[in-house]
């Protein structure tokens, strides 16, 4: 009879850290279960972009063209790319950024990653954490709430420090977060600043003045500003308020193909100084040899022709702006008579709902809504690095309006019904 062995899986500290329950894991687990469920789910929690018919038709057209081009098809699926990413795409993107944004960049300033999440894992751990000189670097988030996916990316413990925003009350039950420059300083242990624009989760678009002041603050401290533009400029351009693409020599700009409607190709983009590009390419070569070429080859001609910027302006931005107005109307109907505020939606595709004095906390409200077949995200996940237990963080929900309108309307109605039960 074969001998049986008692094999125990002893995970390392790294293994324990990256297998624990996190906000990002909760989000993606909910998404996976919802897509596989037999019963309909109002999926208002994930960051999946909308299935915009015009964009899907454009992607299908490009796929068909590549299937008929033997050389390009091989390049897309049968060859390893450069560790920094497919060279033709990087060259085309550099030209687009020079022409559309006026940035002084070449292919040596661009590196591709296996999606933005992977790119931020590399970037944050490149700059933050324990150093060989005995110091420890941290990432400063000049205002929170910020992207849930940042929270747990540090290999060596907590790498974030964050600041509360100033809150501007606006008419029509709206408000807006601003960087509180009156109290913002850059401690000596900070290795980089990071902001998203538009901000995930709130849809906040930092003004040109705020971004310029943050860039100057970072330069004065001798550290880079990391600007997360996954939803922003120059593409996919989901920005509803005046804003200018920003980059200086020390700023690291992160872009993505996901929010164009291509999350499945997992293509993140980092625009930075050559030494940062070289470092990220080296990390990719060591950990995964190369990044995938499907997204870059698929989009190369659309980038080279400038069509990517054109469809961002003519198709993607108007689509989400219409959906934003519609969602605000449904929210007002669903919460009529209940005390609430919503962050002014200036970009991305989320509503950030603030429920002052919420008696049960946003985590419990998330669980109750989930039991009703409506998925949102609890606001407490979106405050990485904020050490104080600010009550505001437990009074907010992130709500996506990118999914089918029927699901969005039904989900908002469920939120209103649940709040009235309290």
Please state, in angstroms and rounded to a whole number, the distance separating the CA atoms of residues 12 and 326: 48
What average pLDDT score do residues 349-373 get? 95
How many CB atoms sit inside 10 A of residue 254's CB? 22
CATH classification at residue 348: 3.90.1150.10
Q: Are residue 123 and residue 171 in the same domain, yes or no?
A: yes
More confident residue, 394 or 14: 394
Q: Are residue 370 and residue 388 in the same domain, yes or no?
A: yes
User: How far, in Å, are 7, 180, 181, 232, 359 from residue 175 at the CA level?
Assistant: 55, 15, 18, 21, 21
Q: Which domain holds residue 51?
A: 20-55+311-420
Please state, in angstroms and rounded to a whole number, the distance separating the CA atoms of residues 291 and 287: 10
Q: Are residue 344 and residue 273 in the same domain, yes or no?
A: no
DSSP 239: B
Between the two ends of the chain, the Cα-to-Cα distance in Å is 61
Please write the tens of the pLDDT for every residue from 265-304. Answer: 999 999 999 999 999 999 999 998 999 999 999 999 999 9
Q: Are residue 110 and residue 208 in the same domain, yes or no?
A: yes
Q: Are residue 106 and residue 217 in the same domain, yes or no?
A: yes
The domain boundary, picked from 277, 305, 333, lies at: 305
More confident residue, 159 or 37: 159
Backbone phi and psi for residue 46, each to the nearest 5 degrees, phi listed first: -80, 175
Please state the pTM of the whole predicted model.
Answer: 0.91
Please state, in angstroms and rounded to a whole number, the distance separating the CA atoms of residues 320 and 283: 35
Q: Are residue 193 and residue 274 in the same domain, yes or no?
A: yes
Hey, which bits of 221-302 come out as E strands? 225-228, 251-256, 268-271
Domain assignment of residue 198, yes or no = yes
Q: Are residue 223 and residue 192 in the same domain, yes or no?
A: yes
The domain boundary, picked from 257, 274, 305, lies at: 305
User: How far, in Å, are 43, 130, 164, 204, 250 from residue 23 at the CA level?
Assistant: 16, 25, 20, 20, 31
What average pLDDT score do residues 201-208 get? 96
Domain assignment of residue 203, yes or no = yes
Please state, in angstroms and rounded to a whole number, the distance separating the CA atoms of residues 341 and 396: 9
Is the pLDDT reported for residue 40 higher than 70?
Answer: no
213 in Cβ contact with 159 (< 8 Å): no
Is the pLDDT reported for residue 134 higher than 80?
Answer: yes
Residue 15: which H helix or E strand, with range? helix 13-19
Q: Are residue 281 and residue 406 in the same domain, yes or no?
A: no
Please state, in angstroms and rounded to a whole number, the distance separating the CA atoms of residues 313 and 240: 10
Q: Are residue 107 and residue 240 in the same domain, yes or no?
A: yes
The domain boundary, picked from 305, 340, 372, lies at: 305
Shortest CA distance to 219 belongs to which of 258, 241, 255, 193? Answer: 193
Q: Are residue 212 and residue 86 in the same domain, yes or no?
A: yes
Q: Are residue 272 and residue 363 in the same domain, yes or no?
A: no
Hey, which bits of 297-419 come out as E strands? 341-343, 350-354, 374-375, 377-378, 396-400
What average pLDDT score do residues 359-365 get? 95
Domain count, the chain: 2
Q: Are residue 323 and residue 281 in the same domain, yes or no?
A: no
281's tokens: 């390419």
CATH classification at residue 258: 3.40.640.10
Please write the tens of the pLDDT for every residue from 305-337. Answer: 999 999 999 999 999 999 999 999 999 999 999
Domain assignment of residue 9, yes or no = no
Domain assignment of residue 196, yes or no = yes
């Amino acid at each position: 009879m074969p001998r049986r062995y008692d094999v125990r899986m002893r995970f390392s500290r790294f293994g324990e850290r990256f297998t624990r329950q996190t906000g990002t894991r909760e989000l993606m687990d909910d998404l996976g279960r919802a897509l596989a469920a037999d019963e309909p789910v109002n999926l208002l929690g994930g960051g999946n972009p909308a299935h915009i018919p015009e964009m899907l038709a454009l992607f299908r057209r490009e796929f068909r063209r590549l299937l008929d081009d033997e050389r390009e098809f091989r390049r897309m699926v049968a060859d390893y790319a450069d560790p920094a990413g497919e060279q033709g795409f990087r060259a085309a993107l550099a030209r687009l950024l020079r022409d559309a944004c006026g940035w002084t960049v070449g292919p040596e300033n661009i590196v591709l990653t296996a999606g933005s999440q992977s790119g931020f894992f590399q970037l944050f751990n490149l700059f933050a954490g324990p150093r060989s000189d005995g110091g420890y670097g941290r990432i400063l988030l000049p205002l929170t709430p910020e992207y849930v996916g940042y929270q747990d990316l540090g290999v060596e413990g907590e790498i974030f420090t964050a600041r509360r925003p100033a809150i501007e009350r606006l008419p029509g039950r709206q408000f807006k977060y601003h960087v509180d420059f009156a109290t913002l300083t850059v401690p000596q242990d900070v290795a980089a600043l990071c902001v998203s624009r538009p901000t995930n989760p709130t849809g906040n678009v930092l003004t040109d003045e705020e971004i310029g002041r943050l860039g100057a603050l970072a330069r004065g401290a001798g550290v880079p500003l990391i600007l997360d533009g996954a939803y922003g400029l120059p593409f996919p351009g989901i920005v509803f308020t005046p804003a200018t693409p920003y980059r200086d020599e020390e700023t690291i700009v992160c872009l993505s193909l996901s929010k164009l409607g291509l999350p499945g190709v997992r293509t993140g983009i980092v625009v930075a100084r050559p030494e940062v590009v070289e470092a990220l390419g080296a990390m990719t070569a060591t950990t995964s040899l190369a990044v995938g070429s499907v997204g870059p080859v698929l989009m190369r001609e659309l980038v080279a022709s400038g069509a990517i910027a054109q469809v961002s302006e003519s198709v993607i931005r108007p689509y989400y702006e219409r959906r934003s107005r519609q969602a605000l109307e449904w929210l007002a109907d669903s919460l009529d008579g209940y005390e609430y505020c919503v962050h002014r939606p200036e970009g991305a595709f989320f509503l950030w709902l603030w429920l002052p004095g919420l008696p049960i906390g946003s985590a419990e409200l998330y669980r109750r809504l989930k039991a009703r077949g409506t998925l949102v995200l609890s606001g407490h996940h979106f405050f990485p690095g904020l050490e104080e237990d600010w009550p505001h963080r437990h009074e907010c929900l992130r709500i996506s309006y990118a999914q089918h309108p029927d699901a969005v309307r039904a989900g908002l109605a469920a939120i209103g019904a649940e709040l009235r039960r309290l």
